[in-house]
Structure 1
Amino acid sequence: MRRLIYALALPVVLFAGWWVLSAGSESFYAPPLSDILTAFGDTWTLAALKADVLPSLLRLLAGYLLAALIGIGLGLAIGLNRRLRAVCEPVLEFFRAIPPPVLVPVIMLFAGIGDTMKIIVIVFGCVWPILLNTVEGVRAVDGVVLETARSYGVTGPARITKVILPSAGPQIAAGLRQALSIAIILMVISEMFAASNGLGFTIVQFQRSFAIPEMWSGIILLGLLGFALSLMFRLAEKRALRWYEGLRESQRRAG
């Protein structure tokens, strides 16, 4: 309960400050928060959520999960093989340095303007933090643990699932956490190019039609979605890495 209060304290203070400071605003581009919240209720009905938000979330989920599969799979292979790592490292660094939004026009040439293009953009941006964190996590596995597992006959797939993945789990989770925020950004950016629905598309349409309160309401909704997804990820991470949380807690008490 205390953690929930701490998590909500700053957003509540910021919203309260926004409400007070914007109460007397006469600016067309920065309307009062009360007008924005009224537009929020009028704009984001159940039908609007199904038409625009649900497709965005499905693309986000598809791209994020695909990036996770590719990143963790390749990360395991590269992290376990020194020669493969030496060959792939320059190429990985090259592609990692390319901003994914720059490739949107190129991807559109090959994948069209449908959902496939948007998913590919999300995958391309999200795969690198997952991949690189997985490689580093695998490389950081304690050699004593590996030798102990080998002496007990834990080899092959069992060695990966029972020893390497759990040991590299905290590092992999860090990469997945970084990728989630990138996925939300790329979801919006990809929907700004030749789209017919989606949250990013709708926000741009509001901006082009000078529906400013509605535009701000879309931005607030995007922030709320990001907060909800981050909270869900933290809950899943805490459940998956219970042993790690317990280890940190015991070390904290011992210190």
Structure 2
Amino acid sequence: MKRTPAPAGSRDSSAPRGAAMKAVGGTRHHLLLRLVVLVLVLALWQFTAQAHGSVYFPPPGRIAHRAYELWFSGPVRRAFLTEAAVGDVLPSLGRMAAGFGIAAVAGIGAGVVVGRSRRAYALCNPVLQFARAVPPPALVPVFVVVLDFGTPMQVASIAFSAVWPVLVNTAEGARNTDPLRLDVAAVLRLNPVERLRFLILPSALPRIFAGLRLSLSLSLILMVFSELLPGTANGIGYTLTDAQSRSDLLTVWAALLLLGVLGYLLNAALLAVEKRFLGRGRSTA
């Protein structure tokens, strides 16, 4: 008996479905491997810490329990956040968000202007490379002298240090816009705003997100460093300094764990936004 060949339409529709299922399977396999590695590292840490019994190297179970007691054992009406979380973690995140937001807006705006002008790029590039090479913590004392201790100094130091990766990457992305697309825009008589919206920014987005990810890491580092200075009354950095002065090493480890988790979650959120704008294939991750 002859088999009737499947319609061409059904074959075409099954191919994307199979590719999607294969991609989902690959993602699940990758996540499973990450989970296995994490469990193995934690198990090794737990076993080593219990075997040595050193107060300087507590097991991860005790560290996680201490972090829970300090910050996440509050009432339901406050989303399980304790007084310490409201008084220390939220102010730190607010300073970091303010500094990172200022750096992102200023860096993207200035980067587009510098990148689209050959003369401006040639004049500003040495200054940009010099500013990017200066270690960010070295600038904090300058802001202490100018602004004194307090939240304005902390936000300014975060913003000034985090702006350079965004600015440089945006300038490079805007500078490398396809000339053929610019010629087509000239033929279509697009105005400058339309060129920026439909040509320059989409072309520069991969470099912009690469700069934003670098700036996000710098913002987290500068947030903690600025809170380690004298005169700080709250924040995760203040919690570290206070716990160190009291020789409370378990709280020190808990604060380090919190910083690591915050950094991972913030980076994952930015990656999700990047994939939303660029698609999985063009992500810079």
Note the aligned Cα RMSD (angstroms). 1.6
User: Which residue number in structure 2 is paired with residue 41 of structure 1?
Assistant: 68
Gaps of 5+ in 1: 249-255
Residue in 1 that maps onto 2:17: none
Question: 1:20 is matched with which residue?
Answer: 47
Q: Distance in 1 between matches of 2:35 and 2:241?
A: 29
Alignment-derived partner of residue 205 in structure 1: 242
Report what 2:130 is aligned to. Answer: 94
Amino acid at match of 1:15: L
1:240 Cα deviation (Å)? 1.4
CA shift, 1:113, in A, is 0.9
Aligned to 2:264: 227
How far, CA to CA, are the matches of 1:135 and 1:14 in structure 2? 41
What is the correspondence of 1:1-255 to structure 2 with a 5 Å cutoff? 2=28, 3-45=30-72, 46=81, 47-194=83-230, 195-242=232-279, 245=280
Q: Aligned-pair distance for 1:173? A: 0.7
Deviations 1:18-49 (A, max 9, x none): 11211233222112333323322222242211
Please identify the structure whose Cα radius of gyration is greater. 2
Q: Hey, what's the Cα distance between the residues in 1 that align with 2:68 and 2:136?
A: 33
What do the CA deviations read for 1:41-92 (whole angstroms, capped 9, x no partner)? 2222422111111001111111001001111111101100011111111221
Question: 2:70·2:85 contact (CA, 8 Å) conserved in 1?
Answer: no
Deviation of residue 247 (structure 1)?
Answer: 6.5
Residue 4 of structure 1: CA displacement? 3.6
| In 1, Cα distance between equivalents of 2:62 and 2:52 | 10
For residues 7 and 163 of structure 1, what CA distance do their matches in structure 2 show?
Answer: 38
What amino acid maps onto 1:227 in structure 2? Y
Give the equivalent residue in structure 2 for 1:251: none
* TM-superposition CA deviations, 1:91-127 (whole Å, max 9, x none): 2122222112112111011112111111111112211
Structure 1 vs Structure 2: percent identity of aligned residues? 41
Aligned residues: 246
Give me the TM-score of the superposition, normalised by structure 1. Answer: 0.91
**Structure 2 CA distance, aligned partners of 1:190 and 1:9?**
36
SS of the residue aligned with 1:23? helix
Unaligned stretches of 5+ in structure 2?
Answer: 1-26, 73-80
Between the aligned partners of 1:137 and 1:189, the Cα distance in structure 2 is 31
Task: Provide the TM-score with structure 2 as the length reference.
Answer: 0.82
Cα displacement (A) at 1:11: 2.7
- Quote the Cα distance in structure 2 between the aligned partners of 1:177 and 1:83: 28
Change (3 A) 1:9 1:177: farther
> Could you say which structure has the greater relative contact order, defined with CA pairs below 8 angstroms and 6 or more residues apart?
1
Change (3 A) 1:23 1:247: closer
CA distance in 1 between partners of 2:36 and 2:101 (Å) = 32
Deviation at 1:7, TM superposition (A): 4.2
Alignment-derived partner of residue 253 in structure 1: none
